[in-house]
């Protein structure tokens, strides 16, 4: 299996002087193709910071990052290109644009990647059908349930055929039934699109869905 994401010695500090906090401390991590990885640990242990580094949202203070076998020059490169071409994000609070329909929320990710509108519409429809929202294409986020919003988020994350999806606490705002449904969907999507998925979660019950669980503590990986 090919390695999709590899971080070596990744370090991220916040603050200066005595107030410096090392959020991620010399972490080595590899995520393989088609893997479903769960990042777990207590609040403040550095999980979200780590996926932000791996997802090219934050730049590391030290260490090296490779995505799809390419060394990422985090200082000199335009990271937005990597984010839109290789990475998909799913957020805890869904973060759908309130003035767009479900279909348009998925299309917007492709618009950012300069995909033609008709092609984007066709793919967005296909993805929303895949996540079971064929009858909700033209609903706005305010008209959708939490579970439905998170499905739209996953469809948006898949829109540009990313190498990896990072999901930050995707079930935190869902009830247990919606969580189970979402995890089933994630498994299904992984099978369908062969996408690598890394999920940050507190939810112990989700462990059983993972290929591998990475435990973090105080900015370091304790078990991988």
Partner 1 sequence: MKTLFLKDMRYRQARVVLTALGITVLISLILLLGGIMNGMRIQARQYVESTGADVWISAEGSGGAFIGFSMVVEEYMAFLNSEPGLAPDSASPLVFAQARPTVGGKSTKAIVVGYKLGQLGGPKQAIAGEGRMFTPSNFEDYRPEDPVPYEVVIDEKMGLEIGEQITLGNEKVKVVGKAESLMFVLDTPLLFMDVRIAQKLLLGNTPHVNMMIAKTDKNEQPVQIASDLDALETIEARTLKQTLTDIIAYYVDEPMKAVQFLRVMLWLAAGILVGMITYVTMLEKTQEIGVLKAIGASNNYVMGLLLKQVILISAVGVILGLVLSYVFAAAAPIFVAIHFVESIIVACISFVVCCGSGYLAARKAITVDPMIAFRGEI
Q: Cα torsion for 147, 138, 132, 157, to the nearest 10°?
A: -70
C-beta closer to partner 1: residue 96 or 133: 96
Q: How far is the CB of 56 from partner 1 (least distance, A)?
A: 9
Task: For partner 1, give the closer residue by CB, 1 or 142.
Answer: 142
Interface residues with partner 1 (CB under 8 A) are 48, 52, 55, 57-58, 78, 80-81, 83-85, 87-89, 91-93, 95-100, 104, 107-109, 111-113, 117, 120, 156-157, 160, 168
Element (H, E) at 105: helix 102-112
Q: Which is nearer to partner 1, 17 or 98 (CB)?
A: 98
| Closest CB to partner 1 among residues 22, 108 | 108
Contact 191, 17 (CB under 8 A): no
Q: Which long-range contacts (CB under 8 A, 24 or more apart) does 100-104 make?
A: 100/140, 100/141, 101/137, 101/138, 101/139, 101/140, 102/128, 102/133, 102/136, 102/137, 102/138, 102/139, 102/140, 102/141, 102/144, 102/148, 102/152, 102/155, 103/128, 103/137, 103/138
Closest approach of partner 1 to the CB of residue 79, in Å: 9
Smallest separation, CB 208 to partner 1 (Å): 26
Write down the least CB distance from residue 132 to partner 1, Å.
Answer: 22
- Least separation, in Å, of the C-beta of 99 and partner 1? 3
Closest CB to partner 1 among residues 91, 193? 91
Other CB atoms within a 10 A radius of the CB of residue 66 amount to 15
């Amino acid at each position: 299996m090919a390695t999709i994401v590899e971080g070596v010695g990744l370090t991220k500090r916040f603050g200066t002087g005595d107030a410096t906090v090392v959020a991620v401390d010399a972490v080595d991590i590899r995520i393989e193709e088609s893997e479903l990885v769960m990042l777990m640990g207590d609040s403040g242990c550095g999980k979200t910071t780590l996926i932000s580094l791996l997802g090219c949202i934050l730049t590391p203070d030290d260490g090296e990052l490779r995505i799809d076998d390419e060394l990422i020059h985090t200082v000199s490169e335009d990271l937005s290109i990597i984010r839109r071409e290789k990475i998909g994000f799913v957020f805890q609070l869904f973060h759908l644009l309130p003035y767009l329909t479900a279909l348009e929320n998925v299309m917007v990710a492709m618009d950012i990647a300069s995909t033609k509108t008709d092609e984007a519409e066709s793919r967005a429809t296909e993805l929303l059908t895949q996540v079971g929202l064929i009858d909700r294409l033209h609903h706005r986020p305010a008209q959708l349930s939490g579970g439905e919003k998170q499905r739209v988020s996953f469809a948006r994350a898949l829109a540009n055929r990313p190498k990896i999806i990072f999901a930050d606490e995707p079930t935190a705002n869902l009830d247990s039934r919606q969580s189970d449904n979402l995890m089933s969907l994630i498994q299904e999507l992984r099978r369908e699109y062969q996408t690598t998925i890394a999920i940050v979660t507190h939810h112990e019950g989700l462990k059983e869905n993972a290929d591998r669980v990475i435990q973090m503590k105080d900015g370091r990986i304790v078990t991988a």
